[in-house]
Amino acid sequence: MKHTRLFLICALILPWLTLPLLGKSAFKKYLPATILISIVTKWLNIYGKKRRWWAFFESFPKKTSGEDLWIIGPYFFTSLWVLKKTAHSFPLFIAVNLCIHLFFTYTFDPLLRKLGIFSLVRLKRVQYIWMLMGRALLLYAFQFCIDRVKKPTVNETIR
C-alpha cells in the first residue's frame, strides 16, 4: 500500500517536471488537442468503468479517482510530447503510439495489476490496444483540424 501511493505520486508529479523541457510554443500549440483528448479519455473512462472494461483500485488522494491521476499526469504529458516529436509525420505518429501502447499494455499493465492500481477486467489486451490507437487517431485528427483552422502568424509566413 505504501509503495502503491508512492508510485501514484511519482506518476502524477514526474510528468509535470518535463514541462520546462517541452517549450512554451510547443505547449501552447498542442495544448488544445491534448485537452480535448483528455476530455474524451475522461468520458471513455466513465463509460469503461460502467461496462467493467477495467478497474482502478487505488487512488491518491482518496477523493480523486485513479483514472483522473493518469489523465492529468502521464497521459496528458505523453500526448503533448508525442505530438511535439511526431505531429509532422503521420506514419511516425502511428508507429510511436503503437510502440507506447504495446509497451504499456504488455509491460506496464501487469505491473499496475501487481501493485493493485489498475486491471483490465472485460477487455482483452488486443481490444485495449485498438481502443488506445483509436484515441491516438482522434488526437492526431484534433491537432490536424486545429492546425488547419489556425491562421499563420507573421513569423510563420516569412519562413
Total count of domains within the chain: 1
Where does residue 25 rank: exposed (0-12), middle (13-18), buried (19+ CB within 10 A)?
Answer: exposed
Residue 92 in domain = yes
Whether 44 maps to a domain, the answer reads yes
Give a yes or no: residue 14 inside a domain: no
- Which residues share a beta bridge with 55? 119
Question: Hey, what amino acid is at 130?
Answer: W
Q: What is the value of pTM for the model shown?
A: 0.88
Tell me the C-alpha distance between 77 and 14, whole Å: 10
Cell numbers at residue 37, please?
Answer: 483528448
Residue 159 lies in a domain: no
Q: Flag whether pLDDT at 15 surpasses 70.
A: yes
Residue 94 lies in a domain: yes
Residue among 71, 75, 42, 57 at smallest CA distance from 5: 57
User: Taking every pair of C-alpha atoms in the chain, what is the biggest distance, in angstroms?
Assistant: 56
Q: Give per-residue pLDDT as tens, 85-116.
A: 999 999 999 999 999 999 999 999 999 999 88
Q: Does residue 13 lie in a domain region?
A: no
The answer to whether residue 16 sits within a structural domain is: no
Position 156 in a domain: no
For 18-67, how does the pLDDT look when each residue is reduced to its tens digit (9 = 90+)?
999 999 999 999 999 999 999 999 999 999 999 999 998 866 667 777 78
The DSSP-derived string for 17-37 is TTHHHH-HHHHHHHHHHHHHH
Domain range for 81: 2-8+25-150
